[in-house]
Copies of this chain bind each other. A is one copy, B any other.
Amino acid sequence: MQLGLGLIGSGFMGRTHAFAFNNVNRVFDLPVKVQPVMLADANETLAARAAGALGFGESTGDWRRLVTDPRVHIVSITAPNVLHKEMALAAIEAGKHVYCEKPLAPGASDAEEMTRAAEARGVVTAVGFNYLKNPMMRLAREIIDSGEIGEIRAFSAIHAEDYMMDSEAPWTWRLDPAGGGGALADLGSHLIAAARYLVGPVAEVCGEVATLVPTRPDAPGSARRVPVEVEDVGRAFLHFENGCNGVLEANWLAGGRKMRQDFEITGSKGSIAYCGERMNELELYVASGQSGRAGFRKILSGPANEPYGAFCVAPGHQLGFNDLKAIEARDLLRAIAGEETGHADFREGLAVQRTLEAIYRSAESRSWETVG
């Protein structure tokens, strides 16, 4: 089966989608083959330039043309969050499969509308929680599922970067409250997805948010400052449905941290620890009776950790961020081919959104809130 790809957006995420689809059929043997067809961006000029660079034959400044083009079967949405809903609904209506960046939509009700529309139309969807695609994340899940570390007791996670650290860093669409939030929406949504993937659904939360840089220049180098209305740091206590408890923190002011997506999972028989800046490693502790020999084991990603081997036969040689997107694209294509993949679709994106929304509600009410 040969399918055409339409890509909306050519920024950070747009490029990674293009790279992912460019590789997915080389690295993996899949029943679905993808061809880049059209790229849409904010205007014709931008779109044309990006299309040339990224291997798309056509370009457009009008994303609506892309989503309705009959040669396009899969629509990748990498535009600002605030546009996700409108684009996705249009693509779904046109019967396209949709691969949308996270967070799915500014609010859970939007995400729900998108999810219902996709399910009603019968198209396949995916949300870009790319870090779940890391073979080390899959290994963590396998370890948990197998009972190797016993019953899960606690989950602790942080996603810290520093791209907004500088008070003079100007306003961007990430700061638009219409986009649904700040650091929690941008970084914390990855932690919620990881928490759900590894531990399970969250039943109730207690959250707090803080805006520590209250104003920013309205444009690069501008002397005019605008207020910041979204959080720089957000945190939540989590009570999972299965009785496990946890905590997460999202922080985009964390000087020196570039991809500190770290978590630790405490089980009754052992623990797992992961550091996002060393994404090819997973640390595993399993309690044993061996006196003076216990300790965290540093597992290096390798062919034994599926699907590392599709990229490289030699362990320890390391995958990169773009490889994760190729794995994400693989799961979408497999799902389109009718396989059971368990990948993060719109329904999963909705569940993340509901959890996120409960955290914001809790930060407002200053008390625990049930996840809707």
Contact = CB atoms under 8 A, between A and B. Distances in A.
Interface residues of A, number: 94
Contacts of A299: 292-295
B167 A233 contact: no
Contacts of A167: 268
Closest 3 CB pairs of A and B: A258-B316, A256-B285, A320-B320
Contact of A208 (B22, B206, B293, B302): B206
Contacts of A251: 154, 156, 266
A259 interface: yes
Given A210-B245, A314-B258, A317-B258, A297 B300 contact: no
A202 to B, nearest CB: 14
A126 interface: no
A247 interface: yes
Interface of A: 11-12, 15-16, 18-19, 22-23, 25-27, 29, 53-55, 139, 142-143, 149, 153-154, 156, 158, 160-161, 163, 165-167, 206, 208, 210, 212, 232-233, 235, 237, 245, 247, 249, 251, 253-260, 264, 266-271, 276-280, 284-287, 291-300, 302, 304-305, 311-323, 366-368
22 contacts: A15-B313, A19-B27, A19-B311, A22-B23, A160-B264, A166-B287, A233-B266, A235-B237, A247-B249, A254-B271, A255-B286, A256-B271, A258-B316, A258-B317, A259-B317, A293-B297, A295-B297, A295-B300, A314-B321, A318-B321, A320-B320, A320-B323
B314 A255 contact: no
Given A259-B318, A321-B317, A298 B295 contact: yes
Contacts of A256: 270-271, 285, 287, 294-296
Contacts of A321: 311-312, 314, 317-320
